[in-house]
Structure 1
Amino acid sequence: MDLNLTLRITDPPPDWLDRFTALIAALGPAAVTDDAPDPGWTADRALTFIEHINPRGRQLLRAAVDGGGRVSGEEFRAVHGDDALSGRMTSLTGTLKSGTAKGWWPTGTVAPLTPTGPDKRGWSKTAFYYLGDGLLGAFRTAFARHDAAE
């Protein structure tokens, strides 16, 4: 039998969680689980990611961070050449997969950058790359740490 409880405690005393955990632990090991949600992309995970992607992938990711969470494909190509975006996402995808296999982040972690095309009817050049919601701070911190270490 499985029993899942969700508790919402308003203004608990400081020792409430310790007392509650001890009470549940007294029921036996099967009653205690740690289902805390994974924090997702942290600055530490972002730094590991940055250190393992190739320089071309890092350049694209940095452009998105420097752009406040997005980079225009057209502007990136204007600076770096018409084929500048070819293969850059491959590095990010490969590092995401290998990092998952090595336990650097949990299975199901989504790529930090998402490409968007100008239309959905077929092949077209990428219009923008976006950092996922809430990722800008973690990657900005990670790049600052990466740059300071170089």
Structure 2
Amino acid sequence: MTPSLKHRSFSRALLASALICSLSVTSVWADPPEGKGHGKGNSHHGHKSKHHKSEHKSDFSTTDALIAAGITVAAARSLALNNQLIQFSPLPPGIQKNLMRGKPLPPGIAKKVLPAPFIKQLPHHPGYEWRAVGSDLVLVALSTAIVVDVLKNVFD
């Protein structure tokens, strides 16, 4: 091989290597697809967040303002113990994660009837109903079945 041919082969190999490296670097610096990638911190970098659901149509009207239960978990737990309402089975994890304030009551949840003496000891909210959902005490809007407040593990 002549020196100019060696130089040409080396130049081609160097150019091919540089091209491959530049293509692989751009894929590393590319943004991940929507919903994929690194964590869900507060830095949005211009991406629309899925956490701003108030911008979208909600399942409940704005007149169904979320109210507080008016009782602490400790006080509700004490009332449950006094009324011997304990050892209710918790919800399965898949349903439990869907039980949250401002969301509709997940479908397929069996409503447990709470004794009247126990309900009378809880704060009264017109238009709302106390329900036992798994081992949690839940305040639900009667008109929309929206969960207004969840007191976790009251009946545990």
TM-score with structure 2 setting the length: 0.28
Larger radius of gyration: 2
Greater RCO (CA < 8 Å, at least 6 residues apart):
1
TM-score with structure 1 setting the length: 0.29
